[in-house]
Amino acid sequence: MCPLLPVLATLASVDPTDHTSWPQLDVCSDQSQGSLFYALRHIGLQGRAQAVVGPMQDDEALLLFALTRAAGVNRALELGGLGGFSARTLLEAVQCTRQPAVYTVDLAPVPVLGRHHRVLQKGAEQVTAADLGG
């Protein structure tokens, strides 16, 4: 049996636009292709007709995920949050590292996407080392 089938069945039963309803898997202990697919589940939800301007494109999200994982990044700083697509990609990439954190700095309110996501509602010029845990 294909190891992706249980993951696909689980994902088929949730609303892809409601991130709070997504089931949680222990992707840090499961190094299978299924857990990698699960970590990237938000990619592709924008549909085939992606806008050229606006949120990050799917291929850019894959590159961001791969570079973040390959470099062993555990903390990331994002300037501007918009809909949270890049923050979700960064969160999935850093989640298995020691002390993972993704900081989103935005003047507008941005939703917190997970327990390792920190939102700073201020201008980038106002961010201090203390804001970033250091």
66-125: pLDDT as tens digits: 899 889 899 999 999 888 888 988 998 898 888 999 999 999 999 999 999 999 999 999
Whether the model clears a pTM of 0.75, i.e. scores above it, the answer is no
3-state secondary structure of 4: coil
Q: Residue 58 above 50 pLDDT?
A: yes
**Average pLDDT of the chain, as a whole number:** 77
Among left, alpha and beta (phi > 0; psi -120 to 50; other), residue 80 is left
- Cβ neighbors of 11 (< 8 A, separation 6 or more) are 22, 38, 41
Q: Are 25 and 38 in contact (CB under 8 A)?
A: yes
Q: Are 106 and 53 in contact (CB under 8 A)?
A: no
| Paired residues of 76 in beta bridges | 102
Q: Whole-angstrom Cα distance, residue 25 to residue 35?
A: 8
* Confidence tier at 10 by pLDDT (50, 70, 90): low
